[in-house]
Amino acid sequence: MAAELAVAPRTLTASIVTTGDSWRERRRALLRDDPAAAGAAARLLDEMGTEERDDEEVEAAHRAGRLAAVRAYEPDARLDEELRLRLTGPDTEGGALRFQWGDALLNPVENAISAAAGTPVHLELTGISAGSTVVHARPVASVALSEPAAMDTPATSAASSGMQMLTRLLGAIEAEQDVREWSRLFDAVDALARALGKYELDLGMTWYGADGDTRRARLTERGRRYVERLRETRPRDQEIIISGRITELRESGWVKVKTGTARNAQAYDVHFEEPEALLRMRPGLGDNVHFRVRFRQRLDAVGIARSAEYTYLGPAAEQSSLPLET
């Protein structure tokens, strides 16, 4: 997909010049029967070595080259940003994108980029490549910039910043490395992994930045399984004291204790494993209580608390509430 080179304050559209191979073929034909020329070519190739690059890497190099050429006479030139999503799996051989995949996957991708950017990033679909399940998207322009504002537009957009962080996280997930530094992004990536797993799809992401930067990442079956393992929780128990007044009672063995009189004061739902013990206490609404409780958190491998519960252990001497460890 051809990209446009945007220049502030005006837009410069770069034409893509395609060079045919006819001159190469004529040159090969002239040297085909020249052993010396063939030997020289072989030695040159041996000295240079060989390089294997896929189409996306070649296009990234072309984009960077076009940008550098235009910036030689227009320093403010920049490329259009683009995100490419490549889906692979048992049902992608036909090169078509099923509606149910798009409905399940595109929103989690947008949410993951937004979480990584720390601000909402809205994407729009621009096309699907023929012959393969490749989705082309770009960030939605929030406002039409005036010429003075366009000159001050930063080269790094929110989408680009988000993609930089997201691709680093996905790389760590695929390598099964420690991802706790990205804990705030984990839920968004978890949702994306679940969506991919539902349809047995692998996802390849390629980001083409405005400054020619290219970033790539994958989320495959290996990464999805690692995310699933990270999602598993383990309990962590503490014994604490909760002091306050009762604001709610339930016969099933639950008491709500509010620790202060302010509207936003901390409140705890304390569970009595034996409801009869609560009945024997004969508590009333508004009573001041001092409970010794077991505070149990269930933490996943990333360190995120997935649940918290407070279980009554017995009465406690009158004292202030103790701060909870976080």
Q: Within this chain, do residues 157 and 250 fall inside the same structural domain, yes or no?
A: no
Picking from 231, 258, 285, the residue at the C-terminal end of a domain is 231
Q: What is the pairing mode between strands 305-315 and 267-271?
A: parallel
Confidence band for 51, pLDDT divided at 50, 70 and 90? low
Q: Is 302 within the bounds of a domain? A: yes
Over residues 56-109, the pLDDT tens digits come to 677 777 777 777 777 777 777 777 889 999 998 888 877 778 888 888 889 999
pTM for this predicted structure = 0.69
- 209 vs 162: CA distance, rounded Å: 11
Model confidence at 224: pLDDT above 90: yes
In this structure, of 34-43, 85-94, 139-148, 156-165, the range with the lowest mean pLDDT score is 139-148
Q: State the amino acid at position 318 in one-letter form.
A: E
Share of the chain above pLDDT 70, in %: 78
Give me the mean pLDDT over the 126-137 stretch.
82
Q: Within this chain, do residues 227 and 280 fall inside the same structural domain, yes or no?
A: no
Q: Within this chain, do residues 170 and 128 fall inside the same structural domain, yes or no?
A: yes
Contact 37, 31 (CB under 8 A): yes
Q: Which residues pair with 239 in a beta bridge?
A: 294
Picking from 231, 247, 270, the residue at the C-terminal end of a domain is 231
* Closest C-alpha among 53, 231, 57, 85 to residue 166: 85
Residue 132: what pLDDT? Answer: 66
Q: Is 125 within the bounds of a domain? A: yes
> Based on the structure, what is the number of domains in the chain?
2
Residue 56: what pLDDT? Answer: 63
Q: Residue 246: give its domain's CATH number.
A: 2.40.50.140
Q: Within this chain, do residues 192 and 253 fall inside the same structural domain, yes or no?
A: no
Q: Within this chain, do residues 249 and 209 fall inside the same structural domain, yes or no?
A: no
Q: Is 13 within the bounds of a domain? A: no
